[in-house]
Copies of this chain bind each other. A is one copy, B any other.
């Protein structure tokens, strides 16, 4: 194999970011791009990405035809967050003997939340000798895999607190609305009730992931979405808000054991956090033996990070044992500076001395 052949399914912000990555890499090749957005349909992705030369790859929406008939090693599925919304597409991909990485947040650890669907997907992947993995920066890395990895140097773990504080300022109105930015406190309450304010997707899965990996038992799960009310005037390219209005959503989740918090994850998302001297960052605190206090400042960037880890895991997902996998099944994930197809060959041979 000279190049790993990739179908990108979903050409929104994430799909575009991955396409840009892939086009700079050795040993990776995009063979088709799927998206239903009329505005980009039939356009060359080089044109959409503002690359001078055309790529020869036009955006298509005949997904049945593409998945069935185009030869590819893997499909990257970045179209929705929820299992129910992506399950039929995942089935189509696996039935056509293609490996899959999805950025659907709920797929990061579907075993406990969606047992029967997970079981079905796993069987289907096994039958067709392919692998499906859910990943991303969060869920997928910061508030689950990284916590689990750090726990490996602990002799004992009694409680985990972690927080991802980010800045929504670069994002447009679609994202801002999902976090309630610009609403009054009353409107925010209504938005929570009618489901318009989404907060973060995947907390339950991240907590199950951590709990099952470490064996840190939890018997209950609760989550809260609270408005972040600004004390200062805040302004971005897309919105401006007055003191007293909602600057974002503090979404927090608790894994409880006998009523006591054991795993506590927080993800406050807001515009202009610096206006109230809040440092963005990823923060992990493990109470145990030893205690661990880890900071990443600023936070790992969501878009770039999700695109990177997805692309970096392509060779491993193709090479590994078939089935529905999670980040716990991956060998130490790592960046890839060299040729991806060569790396896949190396993975398949086993190691140097086999």
Contacts and interface: CB of A to CB of B under 8 A. Distances in A.
Interface of A: 21, 24, 111, 118-119, 122-123, 126, 137, 141, 145-146, 148-149, 151-157, 213-217, 288-290, 292-298, 300-301, 304-305, 307-309, 311-313, 321, 323-324, 327-339, 343, 350-354
A8 B324 CA distance: 37
Given A294-B294, A305-B290, A213 B332 contact: yes
8 contacts: A151-B334, A155-B311, A213-B332, A215-B337, A293-B297, A293-B298, A323-B353, A329-B351
List 6 A-B pairs, minimum CB-CB distance, nearest first: A215-B338, A151-B335, A152-B333, A122-B353, A215-B337, A153-B305
A308 B154 contact: yes
A353 B296 CA distance: 36
A152 B312 contact: yes
Nearest to A154: B335
Nearest to A338: B215
A153 B306 CA distance: 7
B300 A153 contact: yes
Contacts of A338: 215
B308 A153 contact: yes
A87 to B, nearest CB: 16
A151 B154 CA distance: 22
Given A122-B353, A215-B343, A152 B334 contact: yes
Given A146-B149, A331-B331, 12 more contacts: A145-B332, A152-B309, A154-B312, A155-B304, A214-B337, A289-B304, A293-B297, A323-B354, A329-B331, A329-B332, A330-B332, A332-B333
Nearest to A158: B337
A157 B337 contact: yes
A125 to B, nearest CB: 9
Nearest to A157: B335
Contacts of A324: 353
Contacts of A335: 148, 151-157, 214, 216, 288
Contacts of A288: 335
A337 to B, nearest CB: 4
Contacts of A119: 353
A61 to B, nearest CB: 28
A339 B215 CA distance: 8
Contacts of A214: 334-337
Contact of A351 (B152, B156, B323): B323
A332 B352 CA distance: 21
A151 B177 CA distance: 32
A22 B257 CA distance: 25
A334 to B, nearest CB: 5
A329 B347 CA distance: 10
Contacts of A305: 153, 290
Contacts of A329: 331-332, 351
Nearest to A147: B334
Given A293-B297, A332-B327, A308 B215 contact: no
